[in-house]
Amino acid sequence: MTNVLLAASEAVPFAKTGGLADVIGSLPSAFDKDSYDVRVIMPKYGSIPKEYTEQMTFITHINVSLGWRNKYCGIFQLEHEGTIYYFIDNEFYFSGLQLYSYIHEDIEKFAFFSKAVLSVLPHIDFKPDILHCNDWQTGLIPVMLKVLYKNHIYYNGIKTIITIHNLHFQGIWGMGETFDATGLPIECFTSDKMEYYNDSNLLKGGLVYADHITTVSNTYMHEIQTLEYGEGLDGLLRARKNDLSGILNGISYNEYNPSTDNMIYTKYNRRDFPSKKKENKLKLQEQLGLVQDKNTFLIGLVSRLTDQKGFDLIAYLMDRFCDSNMQLVVLGSGEAKHEDMLRYYANTHPDKVSANILFSNELAHKIYAASDAFLMPSLFEPCGLSQLISMRYGTVPIVRETGGLKDTVIPYNKYTGEGTGFSFQNYNADELWEVTRLAKETYESKTQWNSIARQGMAKDYSWQEAAKQYARLYDTLT
């Protein structure tokens, strides 16, 4: 039996700000339980719903030293859907309703969390063979394990993996302040370790000290070794390329299943989706105040409204969208300039554009089920989950060829009929417009379009495949 402890700052259903929480909440249950005992450790935030905190069992409490600080650390446990979760309790750090705040607060908070993860291991009756860390919030765990615990017999043999979910976020702060917050010796803050352009970088520490590095798609693994996508760490990642793997994320096929989804208007499957999707489309158009027309090309978009997601390209093209026979439904929130742009077009073209500046899981499901196409023109996309969900619902993705989008969406070939979506290569608004026009032209031939949608629905992007790849990696490390 291989014991694995996933350390992360968030996990569904307890706390979520992004895709990391979906990964941590879904991956453990996909492993073969006879061979792998995969558990999760995360902070006990004040925002965790009461229905879960009331089920938690208190294990014990210890003191965690962090430099000159000596902090209380409570340990709670909860089994949820067959997976055991441990929660690190400290109200000074985790009582707020927000998971993340100012970087100086977050550096100290996650320095405490990293030290606490290692400190509680002898107290939870579970010794991991692998500590699997995720993003910069857990980047200090491999550092502390190798530096502060190297002479502790209990910790001998524990291997570490760090997964990069998004290299853009690294946990960068002043060197002196981070030295004070972490309690690490000064030799950890050199240019070959945690120093980063005269500051300190927690993710860099994890990348230097971990036994293996993974990221969430094969293409992104290659991209982050280049100057363009490496976010200042490309040299380090090239140096560690032999310890670097790309393992594609999956989605929950229970949560995202059009034949059982109670959030959508009309359920459907691969056989009956052409007519049933039209019913969903008409109902969504009615709910959002768009012109009801089953033949209008309806494009959906569920996303954070940021430059990374390609909204500067979309802004450039909005007048063209509104002058053509298409409708655009957007759900999400983010940067004010993109929110304001979408509100403007929704006000001036209410028959064509629906801007829903909020997050609603139910409306997201309805958009996946009702749209003809799904738009993801990202500047970079480590993996992307929305294109996988849209294919599951027979909604054809239109994506830029980057990261996980390139790995999962097969461009449509009109000569062979192969493909699961449409894609464009360069980060360019005119290329996005051309591929959108091509998709709309193809949509007008319903036989071709339904064939593309059906091919997307037939793909398997469940968590089982990712779990098999992680299992092979765990086996090679142990």
273-458: CATH topology is Rossmann fold (3.40.50)
Give the chain's mean pLDDT.
96
Contact 269, 259 (CB under 8 A): yes
Contact 381, 224 (CB under 8 A): no
pLDDT confidence of 96, banded at 50, 70, 90?
A: confident
Measured in residues, the chain has a length of 478
Encode 267-289: b = buried (16+ Cβ within 10 Å), e = exposed.
bbeeeebeebbbbbbbbbbeebe
CATH architecture label of 2-250+463-477: 3-Layer(aba) Sandwich (3.40)
User: How many other C-beta atoms lie within 10 A of the C-beta of residue 81?
Assistant: 11
Alpha-helical regions (H) of 289-402: 311-323, 336-348, 361-370, 386-392
Q: What is the mean pLDDT of the segment spanning 294-298? A: 96
Cα gap 457→389, rounded to integer Å: 9
Look-up of token digits 């992004």? 18
User: How many other C-beta atoms lie within 10 A of the C-beta of residue 451?
Assistant: 16
Cα gap 154→139, rounded to integer Å: 21
Task: Pick the range with the lowest mean pLDDT from 17-31, 115-129, 161-175.
Answer: 17-31
Output Rg (C-alpha) for the chain, integer angstroms.
23
Contact 318, 326 (CB under 8 A): no
Give ranges for CATH 3.40.50.2000 in the chain. 2-250+463-477, 273-458
pLDDT confidence of 311, banded at 50, 70, 90?
A: very high
pLDDT, one tens digit per residue, over 212-265 is: 999 999 999 999 999 999 999 999 999 999 999 999 999 989 889 999 999 999
Looking at the predicted structure, is the pLDDT value of residue 67 above 90?
A: no
* Sequence-distant (≥ 6) Cβ neighbours of residue 328 within 8 angstroms: 299, 301, 321, 352, 353, 354, 375
Contact 64, 119 (CB under 8 A): yes
pLDDT confidence of 17, banded at 50, 70, 90?
A: confident
pLDDT confidence of 97, banded at 50, 70, 90?
A: confident
| pLDDT (0 to 100) of residue 19 | 85
Angle between helices 273-288 and 446-458 (to 10 degrees): 100
* Sequence-distant (≥ 6) Cβ neighbours of residue 137 within 8 angstroms: 8, 9, 106, 110, 113, 171, 202
| pLDDT (0 to 100) of residue 41 | 98
* Sequence-distant (≥ 6) Cβ neighbours of residue 28 within 8 angstroms: 6, 38, 39, 40, 83
pLDDT, one tens digit per residue, over 323-344 is: 999 999 999 999 999 999 999 9
412: exposed, middle or buried (Cβ count in 10 Å: 0-12, 13-18, 19+): buried
Instruction: Report residue 171 CA to chain centroid gap.
Output: 17
